[in-house]
């Protein structure tokens, strides 16, 4: 988490980290490799969205913001599997949408294989 700003609480620390992550994602020079550029832009957009949502939550429900900040810290320290992200997505997103999460996982793996092949096929000459 952020070492550069004195934060009032874990939620404001997460807000600061997300805002800084977004700024880093749009700072030049941007990567030339299409896959790296795409992931950097995606991560930056998600960080900006998460920062806006965390700010709104801090304003409207500080206790919930602190709970999410604790979860986010666990996620950063121990990874998505340890934080129960998979089971949360299954319960809160996939099941209500009537989707078998294993279908999403299989599609994600297929896309990862395609991205790896496209990355390997792409060559950027070095100066």
Same domain, 19 and 75: yes
Report residue 8's pLDDT band, with 50, 70 and 90 as the boundaries: confident
Report residue 125's pLDDT band, with 50, 70 and 90 as the boundaries: low
Determine the Cα–Cα distance for residues 20 and 36; give it in Å rounded to an integer.
19
22 part of a folded domain: yes
Same domain, 74 and 91: no
Q: What backbone torsions phi and psi does residue 118 show, to the nearest 5 degrees? A: -65, -35
pLDDT per position as a tens digit, 39-48:
899 999 999 9
Same domain, 53 and 109: no
Same domain, 69 and 14: yes
127 part of a folded domain: no
Mean pLDDT of 47-70: 95
Which residues span the domain enclosing 70? 1-79
Q: Are 65 and 7 in contact (CB under 8 A)?
A: no
Quickly count: other Cβ atoms within 10 Å of residue 12's Cβ.
Answer: 20
Q: Give me the number of domains the chain comprises.
A: 2
Q: What percentage of the chain exceeds 90 in pLDDT? A: 55
Same domain, 24 and 38: yes
């Amino acid at each position: 988490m952020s070492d550069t700003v004195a934060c009032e609480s874990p939620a404001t620390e997460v807000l600061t980290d997300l805002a800084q992550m977004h700024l880093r994602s749009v700072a030049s020079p941007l990567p030339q490799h299409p896959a790296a550029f795409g992931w950097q832009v995606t991560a930056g957009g998600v960080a900006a969205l998460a920062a806006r949502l965390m700010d709104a939550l801090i304003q409207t429900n500080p206790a919930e913001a602190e709970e999410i900040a604790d979860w986010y810290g666990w996620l950063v320290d121990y990874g998505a599997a340890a934080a129960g992200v998979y089971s949360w997505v299954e319960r809160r997103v996939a099941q209500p949408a009537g989707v078998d999460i294993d279908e999403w996982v299989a599609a994600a793996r297929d896309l990862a294989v395609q991205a790896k092949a496209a990355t390997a096929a792409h060559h950027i000459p070095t100066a």
